[in-house]
Amino acid sequence: MTVSLPRVHVLGVGAIGTLMASYLRQRFPALPLTLVLRNQAAADRWNAAHQTLALGQHTSVQGPLPVTTATPPQVHWRLATGIDAETLTDSSSATSPIACLVVTTKAYQTRAALAPLRARLDSHSVVVLLQNGLGVREELEKALFDRPATRPQFILATTTHGCYATASYRAVHAGFGGLWFAVVPSSNAPSLRAQAVADLLLALPLQPHAEPWPQFQIRLLTKLAVNACINPITALHRCRNGALISHPKHRITIDHLCQETSTIITRYLLEHQMANATSDLAFSPQELCQHVVEVCQTTAKNKSSMYQDVLHQRPTEIDYINGWLVRQAQRYRIPYPTHQALVAAIHAQEAEYRMDKDA
């Protein structure tokens, strides 16, 4: 299959970035592909890896989300070569336009990472944001692309594929799920390039699904509601997902979170004219709590991404998960004490280990 794209750039080469770049190379061997690396140290590691991505897959993987951090007994490795790389420093001085940029950085890293690329992105560019949480696109539009006429076309994406990194440019595709995406409506004329990028994503062997924007927003809000319960509680109490449904205190916290989240999202849907009988049911407190319990049961042995971030003393994505809900609640003047407490507690943890590192 051929795609009418001169080149695809991938920004953020962690586990998901390695997954996406590897499958892009596998599916489109002739497609020019460039990794945008953070700094020279990352470029040195790329050269040490012989400019090769390695993606492993559990030979026994059948369904979604059986993600663990243990090395499986049998992993089949596939190598991806013929991939170019440039650093953000190189990119800031380059003049060639970027046709398609796939972004898989952490949400809090995105604005700073895209800033050096700003001059190479315009209304003919397509930016795919494959990340957790909500609010990144709006942040980018306000800080970097404030003129709608010259703003790139955005595609938002989310995935349930489980993937973890074992080393730089080396990851294991541990759980097979799906990839969902939608083109964000724009005041600019419909972009043929956006359609080309959508076709490219639909051709990947990742169970891709293109959805209308309203339907996709419901998907993102549902995922956010679940993550807003699981991530901060597991991070603060250093527990796996399954512990949330076996500990009465955690169940009470989840109930409070679902009450607040239901009120906030219901107002958000009304504001954006997306409310209907189906969404009213899906975002009722009872339905949200049931959904959280089901996810905890399915992923009982997993460590949430925020738990892993805190465990390794990394910044978290709390500002784009519970923090996003807090910002909406503030706009609507809706009480949000439980979300506020969790955001403050995670920020306190982050500040504590930042101080330890500086000491």
Q: Any idea which residues carry the catalytic annotation?
A: 223
Distant-in-sequence contacts of 109-112, Cβ < 8 A, 24+ apart: 109/12, 110/136, 110/139, 110/140, 111/136, 111/139, 111/140, 111/143, 111/144
CA contacts within 13 A on the Cβ side of 310 = 24
Q: For residue 167, which amino acid is it?
A: A
As a whole number of angstroms, the distance between CA 192 and CA 196 comes to 6
Q: For residue 27, which amino acid is it?
A: R
Structure tokens at 206: 């990742």
Structure tokens at 116: 């050096």
The three-state secondary structure class of 210 is strand
CB atoms near residue 80 (< 10 Å): 20
Could you give the angle at the alpha carbon of 188 between the alpha carbons of 187 and 189, nearest 5°?
Answer: 120
Structure tokens at 349: 């943890």
As a whole number of angstroms, the distance between CA 198 and CA 203 comes to 9
CB atoms near residue 109 (< 10 Å): 17
Largest CA distance in the chain: 57
In eight-state DSSP terms, residue 206 is S
DSSP H or E run through 87: strand 84-87
